[in-house]
Structure 1
Amino acid sequence: MRVKMILPALTEATSPLFRPIKYSLFPPLGLATLAGYLDPDDEVTITDEHVQKVDTSDEPDLVVIQVYITSARRAYELADLYRARGAYVCLGGLHVTSLPEEAARHADTVFTGPGEDTWPRFLADLRAGRPAPRYDSTERTLTGLPPVRRDLIDRSRYLVPNSIVVSRGCPHVCDFCYKEAFFEGGKSFYTQTVDAALAEIDRLPGRHLYFLDDHLFGNARFAAALFDGMRGMGRLWQAAGTVQTVLRPGLLEKAAESGLRSLFVGFETVNTANLAEQRKWQNIDRDYGAAIRRLHDHGVMVNGSFVFGMDHDDASVFDRTVEWAIGNGIETATFHILTPYPGTRLYERMAKAGRLLHSDWDRYDTRHVVFEPARMTARQLEDGYWRAYRDFYRWGSILRGAATKPTLAGRMRHVAYAGGWKKFEPAWDLAIRARQVGRTLPVLETILAGGPRSRTRPRRTEAPDPARRRELSV
């Protein structure tokens, strides 16, 4: 069977002027995971439209397309094209799970939720000649997951080819998050066994790793055992966590000892009333400043995430947030406009109140206002969002943030990381087009490490008892 898997480009990633590096960071790991379930004699390819063109001159038997909200229009276009040619087309992903009836108009089969239980069932049904039009995930486990088909990924096209996921979902229930809709109907947070996660890490070449888990620290027992197992590997790694877990004694120390050097943290807002409104309980009454200091004290850089446009935000929120982030020495910041994704409680609230402006999914990209804000105009919100990015990443702001670091090495590291991320987008564009992004990975590793270090990778010298590790999955 000839199988073609496609990750269509997000609308915001198709600028004719330059290609932002963030869309060339990670390979399509979800599709590579599903490819692991195919038979050895199946001919399979993976196309990531963020880094390569989709060749539509081929004639696959089965086409599998992963759909996000701002790639939905492009995904449906490709699906319709291949169906017209007689291919069997499957659609899945976040947007399909939120709006399966919409997606079903463009597919032979749609999948809702994660695919570890439904995808193997579909393949058996397809080979038996009786595939169903819809598969809904209900059984949630990562036990027996086949090895990810990394051989299908062109590593040279990505800055971070060693992306990895060892859990699914998140234990928290924030109103604006897609996760609750995606995992409806079963467990919304579960992990691999620690042994399986360590085995996957061992298979990855080089030093650097990026955990794409929504919340790597979500199960403290699992995370602690994983970090113990990674100690001595000589890895440098990045991940996402919460203020709550950063402040928890012991866990951050284990992470830093095993190689954590940069953490994405969802601060979301500097207004406590917003946290309660969006049910971001894990951040309420937490000392953000103390969390940042703990991370910096352990040599971990901070990528802070902030959302503008919650109901308690007024036009002063942008300057206050940027000044707070610079003053606390956050190395990089990611700003978003509040976006009510279909399937979330936020979307339901906005729709019921008549505050949604339209359903043009291309504009649901956290860069455009798609609802009526409560305490400012849509124009103020959109302009403030862009101003926040400009102000935070001015050279003067980067230098002010760097000045909060106590050592010269720390200040240089701050400038290199923040400046490299946002100030050299034309250079990144050239590297992406020349397929040379992977050659810059040693630079990233040097910055993460805090300076030049040996490239040798020590063998793991210490690990928790294997029998104990195997128990640690949920």
Structure 2
Amino acid sequence: MARICLINPRFPTSFWGLNHGLPLLGKKANMPVLALPVLAGLTPAEHEVVLIDENVQEIDFDALEGFDIVGLTGMTVQRDRMRDILLELQARDIFVVIGGPWITVAEDWFRGLVDVMFVGEAEETWPKFLEDWSRNEWKPRYEQAEKTDMTKVPLPRYDLVPFREYAMGCIQTSRGCPFQCEFCDIIVIFGRKPRVKTAELVVAEIDAQHKLGVHVIFLVDDNFIGNKKAAKVILRAIVEWQKQHGYPLAFFTEASLDLAEDDELMQLMADAGMVAVFIGVESPDEDALRETKKYQNVRGGLIERVHKVQAAGLEVYAGMIVGFDSDDTGIFERQFEFLQRARVIGAMAGMLSAIPKTPLYDRLEAAGRLDNAAADDPRIATNVIPLLMSREEMRDGWLDLMDRLYDAENYFERFDELFIKGKLPLASAKMRWLRRHKPLAYLKNQTLTILGALGMLFRLWTDPRTKPYRPVYAKYLRKMILSGRPPRYLFQFAWKCILHTHFATMTRQMVRGESRLVNT
């Protein structure tokens, strides 16, 4: 038997980490990292497993000396903190294993600091390593020969996750994406053939998290609709679970823009209680989309398809990128105008970066247009050398774009167009079903929604950081109230204020030079 501690390192402040907004929610982190409970679920029962997410608890390095194996995972943005932890573990002569997205694409990054590395998925290699370790015959590197069969994975150890510390839960229903976007490492790590869990497995995970107090679940698939037929089966199962339990959960996910081409799929997502979807739009320019092989985004008008998804009751969050080879200094204005017209409130525009092992990385390396040291330079924050502008022009244009997007008036103009004037049919299927089948639950939902919104608004109005934005918040709060929209829209308004506080605080700090550039 081994005592095993699995660690997720602290994330740096980032746009999607919601760091500045979490205190307004009374939470410590946005969501858990699934690698920890997944690995714990793969660990034979005779071993003891402890999980540490540094985003919600400090690492006690003295206590780690009492473990036989300490495992570390991490993504690209965590690599600096990963190195710090590994140096401390090495100084204490602790047996260390490492896996996750970053080590998978950058195997040499921590050479000499780890005893065992896991490349790619680990559903087969983790149990195999534990068998080898018990015989003192472990190998320094493990990599699965085949991709994981997602229909056979065990239930993650969600009982080890302190969900009360997180703003939301998360579940992965599939791995892989059928598309070939040049900059993306998903197809490098998980492949282009989507592998999907059974609906029964997904519902079992939903049920487990619901019983542990989760109210919002992010389906963290890199493309939930990579296999549309399988996604519909899962959605129908979620609809039935929601009806059996009185629609206690809200969902959101990530999907490709071809979602707009499938009315049945969008309807099922709304019926399942899904309220938002993150879509990698990347650019309003067709030349850039073709250049990066984002062909699924060039089939028809971008704005029209975003509006179609919104009309189905799904708010669209968008990932945008500047710095493609066809981008000149006019791209920043085109990005801004697109997002305003598309009514995308939550937009993350980043500078193009090249991840090792991706086609983009290989192409730019061959062309001599990579500067990997610049990715860690707090004044540059990308390793890409753009073609039609200087790195400084790209950086300054990107900062100005983010500053404009998260100017309070611009931000809430998009909110007004989508939620007030546009009357986005948010959670309409859920509310219709509750009114018809569970009227008391409907009234309870309305009451709790109002109380939740008032609680968030109280925190916002008493937090000194929001003082510069309160006049705009008050202006649009009045418009919201006078519009007569139902209570769930007031809750959305309060949530958007919290998001704005985070985005605006972070952007303002970067623009003023008060923090390093964060390109995530």
Shared fold (TM-score, shorter chain, > 0.5): yes
Instruction: Name the % identity.
Output: 25
Residue 401 of structure 2 is matched in structure 1 by 388
Among 96, 103, 116, the residue aligned to 2:123:
116
Contact 2:103 2:119 in 1 (8 A): yes
Q: 1:156 to 1:426 in 2, by over 3 A?
A: farther
| Amino acid in the other structure paired with 1:224 | K
Report the Cα distance in structure 1 between the residues aligned to 2:505 and 2:164, rounded to whole angstroms. Answer: 16
User: Larger RCO: Structure 1 or Structure 2 (Cα < 8 Å, ≥ 6 residues apart)?
Assistant: 1
The 8 Å contact of residues 94 and 182 in structure 1, kept in 2 or not, is answered as: yes
**Aligned pair in 2 of structure 1 residues 270, 304: CA closer, same or farther (>3 Å)?**
same
Residue 221 of structure 1 aligns to which amino acid in structure 2? K
- Decide whether aligned partners of structure 1 residues 4 and 275 sit closer, same or farther in structure 2, where only a CA change above 3 A counts: same
Please say if 1:314 is aligned against 2:328: yes
1:269 pairs, out of 283, 286, 310, with: 283
- Structure 1 gap ranges (5+): 429-474
Residue number in structure 2 paired with 1:346: 360
Report the Cα distance in structure 1 between the residues aligned to 2:85 and 2:344, rounded to whole angstroms.
Answer: 41
1:362-441 correspondence to structure 2 within 5 Å: 362=376, 368-404=381-417, 405-407=421-423, 408=483, 409=485, 415-423=493-501
Taking structure 1 as reference, are residues 197 and 332 closer, same or farther at Cα in structure 2, changes over 3 Å only?
same
- Aligned with residue 195 of structure 2, among 165, 170, 190: 190
In the TM superposition, 1:241-320 aligns within 5 A as 241-320=255-334
Report the number of matched residues. Answer: 421
Aligned equivalent of 2:44: 39
Partner-residue secondary structure (3-state), 1:72: helix
- 1:204 maps to 209
Q: CA deviation at 1:412?
A: 5.6
Classify 1:253/1:374 alpha carbon distance in 2 versus 1 (closer, same or farther; 3 Å): same
How far off its partner does 1:228 sit?
0.8
SS for the counterpart of 2:344 is coil
Structure 1 residue 393: Cα displacement: 1.8
What amino acid sits opposite 1:150 in the alignment?
Y
Structure 2 counterpart of 1:9, which letter?
R
Q: Matched residue of 1:372: which SS?
A: coil
- 1:416 is displaced (CA, Å) by 3.8
2:226 equivalent in structure 1: 218
Amino acid at match of 1:210: F
202-211 or 167-176: which moved more? 202-211
Partner of residue 472, structure 1:
none
2:179 to 153, 158, 172: 172
Please tell me the root mean square deviation across aligned C-alpha atoms, in Å.
Answer: 2.6
Tell me, in whole angstroms, the C-alpha distance in 1 between the residues paired with 2:500 and 2:388: 30
Deviations 1:175-199 (A, max 9, x none): 1011132236xx6531111211122
Q: Is the 8 A contact 1:13 1:19 kept in 2?
A: no
C-alpha change, 1:77 and 1:399, in structure 2 (3 Å) is: closer
Task: Report the alpha carbon displacement of residue 29 of structure 1 after superposing the two structures with TM.
Answer: 1.0
Q: Which runs of 4+ in 1 moved over 6 A?
A: 425-428
Distance 1:426 1:356 in 2: 30
Aligned-partner Cα distance in 2 for 1:100–1:263: 33
1:166 Cα offset (Å): 1.0
- 1:5, 1:31 within 8 Å by CA — same for their partners in 2? yes
CA distance in 1, matches of 2:346, 2:505: 19
AA of the residue aligned to 1:223? A
Q: State the Cα distance separating 1:403 from its structure 2 match.
A: 3.4
> Whose helix fraction is larger, Structure 1's or Structure 2's?
2
Checking the alignment, whether the CA contact within 8 Å between 1:13 and 1:20 is kept in structure 2 is no
C-alpha deviation, 1:357, in angstroms: 2.0
Q: Note the residue ranges of structure 2 that are not aligned, 5 or more in a row.
A: 424-482, 507-520
Q: Do the aligned partners of residues 335 and 292 (structure 1) sit closer, same or farther apart at CA in structure 2, a change above 3 Å counting?
A: same
CA deviation string 1:40-84 (max 9, x = no partner): 343322222233322211112101111322322321332233234
Which residue in the other structure is 2:167 paired with?
Answer: 159
Deviations 1:336-391 (A, max 9, x none): 110001111111111111111233654599x7232221111111211222222221
Question: Is it true that 1:138 corresponds to 2:139 in the alignment?
Answer: no
Q: Secondary structure at the match of 1:423?
A: helix
Match of residue 88 from structure 1: 95
Shift in Å, 1:35: 0.9
Q: With structure 1 as the length reference, what TM-score do the two structures score?
A: 0.82
**Structure 1 residue 3, shift from structure 2 partner:** 1.1
Report the AA paired with residue 63 of structure 1. V
- Verify the 8 A CA contact 2:173 2:197 in the aligned structure 1: yes
Counterparts of 1:64 and 1:188 in 2: how far apart (Å)? 29
